[in-house]
Amino acid sequence: MHSKASGEYGGLKLLLVSNSTNAGEGYLEYCRQDIAGFLKKYGVSKALFFPFAAVTFSYDEYERKVLEKLLPLGVEVESIHHAHDAQRAVHDAQAIVVGGGNTFHLLKSIQGLQLTEAVRCKVHGGVPYVGWSAGSNLACPTICTTNDMPIVEPENFSAFNLIPFQINPHYLDANPAGHAGETREQRLQEYIAANPHRHVVGLREACMLTLTGGELKLHGKRPMRVFKAGQAPLELQPTDNLQFLLRS
């Protein structure tokens, strides 16, 4: 079974980051070395950036923010919103980088450009994919485990479906004092009750997943929490075997 999972996902090169910014740090400060190193490992000098999760600031500004962090490390980014032909831009891309923000706005924009299948085929063809927050949600089968408010309505919730499990970025264990609403875990328990076939990974901040050579790995100093209907949640460390998630 391990070889089957490795075979199906063996050509993928994914870096899926929970969050862009740790408390008290600058934008992408904790993960920019990981992002640049991951891309340069595969010979990427220029990546195609998807800025569509930005809502309260411009796509130009988003592109500048990411470029300022990655260009000094040897990786240029160019936003797809400049492209006259978005399909061609995906086809020609050395790598796909999808930034965080509002997941619903991101997906609606990608669907509007009819890029879902184009990106999926490109990544399955071996082009590296990097996403953080909403960009990690887009790597999943659906966006149904995002934390975001549905400020716009996409055609559907189907995402790039690069991995067979769901991610909940920014996963929090805390139940703030005085808060009488559902915790994050209770929300995810609702999801798995309605979708019993699917695993959900609660990916805590300052953590990331890589999928390369058919091997899924957790990176960071904190464990991730895995939910599946009918099973007690699991706390998994970076040293644990995660291959069962590829057989979801």
Does 60 qualify as catalytic in the annotation? Answer: no
Does 2 qualify as catalytic in the annotation? Answer: no
* Residues counted in the chain: 248
Distance from C-alpha of 54 to C-alpha of 47, rounded to nearest angstrom = 18
- Annotated catalytic residue: which of 18, 81, 136, 148? 148
Q: Residue ranges of the alpha helices (H) in the chain?
A: 2-9, 32-41, 59-70, 86-92, 103-112, 116-124, 134-137, 184-194
- Annotated catalytic residue: which of 18, 133, 136, 199? 133
- Annotated catalytic residue: which of 170, 219, 240, 248? 170
CA-based nearest residue to 88, from 46, 122, 112: 122
Is the sign of the CA dihedral 248, 155, 18, 148 positive or negative?
negative
Give the single-character DSSP code of 148.
S
Does 148 qualify as catalytic in the annotation? Answer: yes
Site of tokens 């549905």: 150
Q: How far is CA 239 from CA 23, 219, 220, 242, in A?
A: 26, 9, 11, 9
Tokens of 88: 């061609």
Q: What angle do CA 113, 114, 117 make, to 5 degrees?
A: 140
CA-based nearest residue to 98, from 170, 16, 200: 16
Catalytic residues: 133, 148, 170
